[in-house]
A and B are shown apart, each in its own frame.
Chain A
Amino acid sequence: MSSVCFYFEVHQPHRVKPYGALQVGRDHEYFDEKLNAEVLRKVANKCYLPANESMLRLIERTDGRFRISYGVTGVVIEQMKLYAPEVLDSFGRLAKTGAVEFVAETYYHSLSALSDLDEFREQIDMQMKLINSEFGQVPRVFRNTELIYNDDIGQFIADQGFDAMLIEGADDVLDWRSPNFVYRAAGRDMKLLAKNYKLSDDIAYRFSNPSWPDYPLSAEKFAGWVHGHSGAGDVINLFMDYETFGEHQWKETGIFDFLEHLPELLFTHPQWDILTPSQVIDRYPALGELPCHRTTSWADEARDISAWQGNAMQQRALAEIYSLGTAIRRRNNSHLLALWRRLQTSDHFYYMATKSASDAEVHDYFSPYEGPYDAFIHYMNVVKDLKLSVLAPAQKQIRL
Chain B
Amino acid sequence: MKILMLGWEYPPHISGGLGTACEGLTTALASRGIEIDFLVPKLFGEEDAPHMQLLGAASAAHTATQAQAPAQEPAGLPARLSRLLAAEPSLATDPIFIAAAEAARAGTPLPGSADVNMIRVPAMLKPYLDQKTYQELIRTGALRESAIPDILASRIGHPLPDPPTGSMRLEHVHLPGVDLSSGEEQSSGAHYGDDLFAEVARYAMSATRRVEGRKYDLIHAHDWMTFPAGVEIARRAGAPLMVHVHSLEYDRAGHGADQNIVSIERLGLEAATRVIAVSYYTRGLINRVHGTSLDKISVVHNGVYTRETVEAYTEQRSSKGPVVLFLGRVTFQKGPEYFVQAAAKVLEHIPDAVFIMAGSGDMLPRMIAMVEELGITDSFRFPGFVRGAELERTFSTADVYVMPSVSEPFGIAPLEAMSYDRPVIVSKQSGVSEVLRNALKVDFWDVDKMASQIVGLLEHPELRRTIIERAREEIRHIHWDAAAETLIPVYETVLSG
Contact count band on B:
20 to 34
Contact yes or no, B451 A315, CB < 8 A:
no
Contact yes or no, A354 B466, CB < 8 A:
yes
Q: For the complex, give the distance between the alpha carbons of A18 and B446 in Å.
A: 13
Contact yes or no, B470 A354, CB < 8 A:
yes
Q: For the complex, give the distance between the alpha carbons of A5 and B198 in Å.
A: 81
Contact yes or no, A370 B441, CB < 8 A:
yes
Q: For the complex, give the distance between the alpha carbons of A370 and B425 in Å.
A: 13
Contact yes or no, B456 A380, CB < 8 A:
yes
Interface window among B293-301, B331-339, B364-372, B457-465: B457-465
Query: Which chain A residues border B437 with CB–CB below 8 Å?
Result: 360, 371
Q: Which of A18, A20, A360, A376 contacts B463 (CB 8 A)?
A: A376
Contact yes or no, B451 A20, CB < 8 A:
yes
Within 8 A of A (CB), among B442-488: 448-449, 451-453, 455-456, 459-460, 462-463, 465-467, 470
Q: For the complex, give the distance between the alpha carbons of A312 and B466 in Å.
A: 6
Known pairs A22-B345, A376-B460; A311 contacts B466 (CB<8 A): yes
Instruction: Bits for B401-435, please: 1 = Cβ < 8 Å to A, else 0.
Output: 00000000000000000000000000000000000
Within 8 A of B (CB), among A10-28: 18, 20-22
Interface: B349 (CB within 8 A): yes
Contact yes or no, B452 A313, CB < 8 A:
no
Q: For the complex, give the distance between the alpha carbons of A18 and B87 in Å.
A: 54
Contact yes or no, A377 B345, CB < 8 A:
no
Q: For the complex, give the distance between the alpha carbons of A313 and B441 in Å.
A: 18
Interface: B440 (CB within 8 A): yes
Contact yes or no, B451 A373, CB < 8 A:
no
Query: Which chain A residues border B448 with CB–CB below 8 Å?
Result: 20, 22
Interface: A163 (CB within 8 A): no
Contact yes or no, B463 A373, CB < 8 A:
yes
Q: For the complex, give the distance between the alpha carbons of A90 and B455 in Å.
A: 46
Q: For the complex, give the distance between the alpha carbons of A173 and B460 in Å.
A: 36
The residue on B at minimum CB distance from A360 is B437
Interface: A381 (CB within 8 A): yes
Interface: A374 (CB within 8 A): yes
Q: For the complex, give the distance between the alpha carbons of A374 and B442 in Å.
A: 10
Interface: A283 (CB within 8 A): no
Contact yes or no, A21 B456, CB < 8 A:
yes
- Of B348, B440, B451, B462, which is in contact with the most chain A CB atoms at under 10 Å from its CB? B462
Contact yes or no, B451 A313, CB < 8 A:
no
Known pairs A354-B466, A371-B437; A313 contacts B460 (CB<8 A): yes
Query: Which chain B residues border A331 with CB–CB below 8 Å?
Result: none
CB distance from B245 to the nearest CB of A (A): 27
Query: Which chain A residues border B441 with CB–CB below 8 Å?
Result: 370-371
Query: Which chain A residues border B345 with CB–CB below 8 Å?
Result: 22
CB distance from B398 to the nearest CB of A (A): 18
Instruction: Bits for A355-390, please: 1 = Cβ < 8 Å to B, else 0.
Output: 000001000000000111110110011000000000
Q: Which of A18, A20, A374, A380 contacts B460 (CB 8 A)?
A: A380
Query: Which chain B residues border A374 with CB–CB below 8 Å?
Result: 440, 453
Interface: A316 (CB within 8 A): yes
Contact yes or no, A21 B349, CB < 8 A:
yes
Q: For the complex, give the distance between the alpha carbons of A354 and B456 in Å.
A: 17
Q: Which of A311, A370, A371, A377 contacts B452 (CB 8 A)?
A: A377
- Of A22, A315, A380, which is in contact with the most chain B CB atoms at under 10 Å from its CB? A22
Q: For the complex, give the distance between the alpha carbons of A18 and B449 in Å.
A: 9
CB distance from B349 to the nearest CB of A (A): 6
Contact yes or no, A312 B452, CB < 8 A:
no
Contact yes or no, B465 A20, CB < 8 A:
no
Query: Which chain A residues border B449 with CB–CB below 8 Å?
Result: 18, 20
Contact yes or no, B467 A373, CB < 8 A:
yes
Within 8 A of B (CB), among A282-340: 311-313, 315-316
- Of B349, B456, B465, which is in contact with the most chain A CB atoms at under 10 Å from its CB? B456
Contact yes or no, B460 A316, CB < 8 A:
yes
CB distance from A375 to the nearest CB of B (A): 11
CB distance from A301 to the nearest CB of B (A): 17
Query: Which chain B residues border A377 with CB–CB below 8 Å?
Result: 440, 452-453, 456, 460, 463
Q: For the complex, give the distance between the alpha carbons of A374 and B452 in Å.
A: 10
Known pairs A371-B437, A373-B440; A313 contacts B453 (CB<8 A): no
Q: For the complex, give the distance between the alpha carbons of A374 and B466 in Å.
A: 12
Q: For the complex, give the distance between the alpha carbons of A372 and B465 in Å.
A: 13
CB distance from B350 to the nearest CB of A (A): 9
- Of A18, A312, A370, A376, which is in contact with the most chain B CB atoms at under 10 Å from its CB? A312
Within 8 A of A (CB), among B339-393: 345, 348-349
The residue on B at minimum CB distance from A373 is B440
Q: For the complex, give the distance between the alpha carbons of A372 and B453 in Å.
A: 12
Q: For the complex, give the distance between the alpha carbons of A207 and B453 in Å.
A: 39
Q: For the complex, give the distance between the alpha carbons of A371 and B467 in Å.
A: 11
CB distance from A30 to the nearest CB of B (A): 15
The residue on B at minimum CB distance from A18 is B449
Contact yes or no, B462 A313, CB < 8 A:
yes
The residue on A at minimum CB distance from B453 is A377
CB distance from A101 to the nearest CB of B (A): 41
Query: Which chain A residues border B462 with CB–CB below 8 Å?
Result: 311-313, 315-316, 376
Contact yes or no, A313 B456, CB < 8 A:
no
Query: Which chain B residues border A313 with CB–CB below 8 Å?
Result: 460, 462-463, 466
CB distance from B175 to the nearest CB of A (A): 44
Q: For the complex, give the distance between the alpha carbons of A374 and B437 in Å.
A: 12
The residue on B at minimum CB distance from A355 is B470
Query: Which chain B residues border A311 with CB–CB below 8 Å?
Result: 462, 466
Q: For the complex, give the distance between the alpha carbons of A53 and B345 in Å.
A: 53
User: Which B residues are closer than 8 A to A by beta carbons?
Assistant: 345, 348-349, 437-438, 440-441, 448-449, 451-453, 455-456, 459-460, 462-463, 465-467, 470
User: Which A residues are closer than 8 A to B by beta carbons?
Assistant: 18, 20-22, 311-313, 315-316, 354, 360, 370-374, 376-377, 380-381
Not counting A20-B452, A377-B440, a sample of 18 additional A-B residue pairs whose C-beta atoms are within 8 angstroms of each other reads A20-B448, A20-B451, A21-B452, A21-B455, A21-B456, A21-B459, A22-B345, A311-B466, A313-B462, A313-B466, A354-B438, A360-B437, A371-B440, A372-B466, A373-B438, A373-B440, A376-B462, A377-B452
**29 A-B pairs whose Cβ atoms sit less than 8 Å apart in the complex:** A18-B449, A20-B448, A20-B451, A21-B349, A21-B452, A21-B456, A21-B459, A22-B348, A22-B451, A311-B462, A312-B465, A313-B462, A313-B466, A316-B460, A316-B462, A354-B438, A360-B437, A371-B440, A372-B466, A373-B453, A373-B466, A376-B456, A377-B440, A377-B456, A377-B460, A377-B463, A380-B456, A380-B460, A381-B456
Report, nearest first, the 4 A-B pairs whose CB atoms are least far apart.
A20-B452, A377-B456, A21-B455, A312-B462
